[in-house]
Structure 1
Amino acid sequence: MAEKYVLTLDIGTTTIRSFIYNSKAETVGSAVDQVVLHYPSPGFVEIDPDELWNSIKQIVANSLKDANLTAAQISAMGISTLRSTFITWSRETGKPFHRFITWKDLRADKLVNQWNESYTWKTTLRLSWALQNIEPLREAVKKDDVMFGTLDTWLLHKLTGGKIHVTDVSSASATGFFDPFCMQWGGWALGLFKIPRGVLPEVVDTAGEHFGSTTPDIWGKPIPIRSCMADQTASMWGSCCFDVGDVKLTMGTGTFFNINTGSVPHANVSGLYPIVGWRLGSELVYSAEGSNNDTASIIKWAQNLGLFDNPQDSAEIAESVPDSDGVYFIPAFSGLGAPYNDGSAASGFVGMKPSTTKAHLVRAVLESLAFRIAQLYNCVRAENSYEFNIIRVDGGVSNNDFIAQLVADLTGLRVERPLHTEMSSLGCAHVVGLQLGIWKSKEELKSLRKVECVFNPRPQVKKAYEVTCSRWEDAVKRMCGWYIANRSSQSINTVSDSSSNSFTPQNSFKVNSKKKRNSKHSK
Structure 2
Amino acid sequence: MVHIATLDVGTTTVRCFITNDNCEVLGTATERVDLLNPQPGYFEIEPEALWAKIVAVINNAVRQAHLTPSDINSFGLSTQRCTFLTWNHETQEYYSNFITWKDLRANALVDQWNAGLIVKTLNTVSYALYLITRSNRFLAASVLKMMNSQVTTRLLHEVQTNKRLQEALRRKEARVELLDSWILYKLRSGNGLQTNIEHISDITSATATGLFDPFTLCWTPLAKFLSGIEFALLPKVVDNDYKDFGNIHPNALGPEWHNSSVSISASISDQTAAMWGSQCFERGEVKTTLGTGAFLNLITGSTCHASVMGLYPLVAWQFKDALEKARTVYCVEGASNDIGTVIEWAKQCGLFNDPMETSDIAHTVPDTNGVYFIPAFSGLGPPINNPRAATGFIGITLSTTRAHLVRAILESIVFRTVQLCETVKAETKFTLKLLRVDGGVSRNDFICQLLADATGLQVERATSIESSILGATYMAGYNMGLWNSFGDLHKLRQIERTFEPRTQYQLAIRERMAHWMKAIKRFENWY
Unmatched segments (≥5 aa) in structure 2? 115-144, 190-194, 321-325
Structure-1 residue corresponding to 2:159: 131
In the alignment, the residues of structure 1 paired with residue 436 and residue 509 of structure 2 have an alpha-carbon distance, to the nearest angstrom, of 23
User: How far is the alpha carbon of 1:260 from its aligned partner?
Assistant: 0.4
Q: Answer whether contact 2:106 2:148 (CA < 8 A) is retained.
A: no
Structure-1 residue corresponding to 2:3: 5
User: How far is the alpha carbon of 1:91 from its aligned partner?
Assistant: 3.9
In the alignment, the residues of structure 1 paired with residue 266 and residue 440 of structure 2 have an alpha-carbon distance, to the nearest angstrom, of 24
Structure-2 residue corresponding to 1:154: 182
User: Residue deviations 1:445-499, cap 9 Å, x none?
Assistant: 011110100001111211112221111111112111111xxxxxxxxxxxxxxxx
User: How far is the alpha carbon of 1:120 from its aligned partner?
Assistant: 7.3
User: Residue deviations 1:5-58, cap 9 Å, x none?
Assistant: 111000110011101111111111111111010011111100000110000000
The AA in structure 2 aligned to 1:330 is I
Question: 1:178 aligned to 2:212?
Answer: yes
Q: How many residues align?
A: 481
The AA in structure 2 aligned to 1:112 is V
Structure-1 residue corresponding to 2:403: 359
User: How far is the alpha carbon of 1:121 from its aligned partner?
Assistant: 7.0
In the alignment, the residues of structure 2 paired with residue 333 and residue 166 of structure 1 have an alpha-carbon distance, to the nearest angstrom, of 33
Question: 1:118 aligned to 2:146?
Answer: yes
Q: 1:77 aligns with which of 70, 75, 78?
A: 75
In the alignment, the residues of structure 1 paired with residue 455 and residue 388 of structure 2 have an alpha-carbon distance, to the nearest angstrom, of 27
Question: 1:411 aligned to 2:450?
Answer: no
SS of the counterpart of 2:335? Answer: strand
Q: Which stretch has the larger CA shift, 92-101 or 351-360? A: 92-101
The AA in structure 2 aligned to 1:195 is I
SS of the counterpart of 2:377? Answer: coil
Structure-1 residue corresponding to 2:55: 57
User: Residue deviations 1:89-111, cap 9 Å, x none?
Assistant: 11431221110000000011111
Q: Answer whether contact 2:76 2:472 (CA < 8 A) is retained.
A: yes
Q: Answer whether contact 1:330 1:346 (CA < 8 A) is retained.
A: yes
Q: Answer whether contact 1:156 1:164 (CA < 8 A) is retained.
A: no
SS of the counterpart of 2:60? Answer: helix
SS of the counterpart of 1:431? Answer: helix
User: How far is the alpha carbon of 1:433 from its aligned partner?
Assistant: 0.6
The AA in structure 2 aligned to 1:272 is L
User: How far is the alpha carbon of 1:348 from its aligned partner?
Assistant: 0.7
Q: 1:297 aligns with which of 341, 351, 359?
A: 341
Structure-2 residue corresponding to 1:211: 245
SS of the counterpart of 2:150? Answer: helix
The AA in structure 2 aligned to 1:149 is E
User: How far is the alpha carbon of 1:209 from its aligned partner?
Assistant: 3.1
In the alignment, the residues of structure 1 paired with residue 357 and residue 427 of structure 2 have an alpha-carbon distance, to the nearest angstrom, of 37
TM-score (norm 1): 0.90
Unmatched segments (≥5 aa) in structure 1? 484-523
User: How far is the alpha carbon of 1:189 from its aligned partner?
Assistant: 2.9
Structure-1 residue corresponding to 2:312: 273
Q: Which stretch has the larger CA shift, 121-130 or 34-43? A: 121-130
In the alignment, the residues of structure 2 paired with residue 212 and residue 41 of structure 1 have an alpha-carbon distance, to the nearest angstrom, of 39
SS of the counterpart of 2:449? Answer: helix
User: How far is the alpha carbon of 1:179 from its aligned partner?
Assistant: 0.5
User: How far is the alpha carbon of 1:411 from its aligned partner?
Assistant: 1.0
In the alignment, the residues of structure 2 paired with residue 120 and residue 444 of structure 1 have an alpha-carbon distance, to the nearest angstrom, of 39
Q: Answer whether contact 2:371 2:393 (CA < 8 A) is retained.
A: yes
Q: Which stretch has the larger CA shift, 211-220 or 123-132? A: 211-220
Q: Answer whether contact 1:120 1:175 (CA < 8 A) is retained.
A: no
Structure-2 residue corresponding to 1:506: none
Q: Answer whether contact 2:36 2:43 (CA < 8 A) is retained.
A: yes
- What does residue range 139-288 of structure 1 map to in structure 2 within 5 Å? 139-161=167-189, 162=195, 163-217=197-251, 218-219=253-254, 220=257, 221-281=260-320, 282-288=326-332
Change (3 A) 1:122 1:441: closer
- What does residue range 448-459 of structure 1 map to in structure 2 within 5 Å? 448-459=492-503
Q: Answer whether contact 1:334 1:343 (CA < 8 A) is retained.
A: yes
Q: Which stretch has the larger CA shift, 462-471 or 350-359? A: 462-471
User: How far is the alpha carbon of 1:383 from its aligned partner?
Assistant: 0.5
Change (3 A) 1:48 1:121: closer
In the alignment, the residues of structure 1 paired with residue 495 and residue 54 of structure 2 have an alpha-carbon distance, to the nearest angstrom, of 30
Structure-2 residue corresponding to 1:108: 106
In the alignment, the residues of structure 2 paired with residue 104 and residue 382 of structure 1 have an alpha-carbon distance, to the nearest angstrom, of 28
User: How far is the alpha carbon of 1:126 from its aligned partner?
Assistant: 0.5
Q: Answer whether contact 2:462 2:497 (CA < 8 A) is retained.
A: yes
In the alignment, the residues of structure 1 paired with residue 113 and residue 515 of structure 2 have an alpha-carbon distance, to the nearest angstrom, of 31
Q: 2:511 aligns with which of 467, 489, 508?
A: 467
Structure-2 residue corresponding to 1:341: 385
Identity %: 46
TM-score (norm 2): 0.90
Structure-2 residue corresponding to 1:67: 65
Q: Answer whether contact 2:146 2:153 (CA < 8 A) is retained.
A: no
Q: Answer whether contact 2:456 2:502 (CA < 8 A) is retained.
A: yes
User: How far is the alpha carbon of 1:208 from its aligned partner?
Assistant: 3.0
In the alignment, the residues of structure 2 paired with residue 414 and residue 69 of structure 1 have an alpha-carbon distance, to the nearest angstrom, of 40
Question: 1:376 aligned to 2:420?
Answer: yes
Q: Answer whether contact 1:10 1:425 (CA < 8 A) is retained.
A: yes
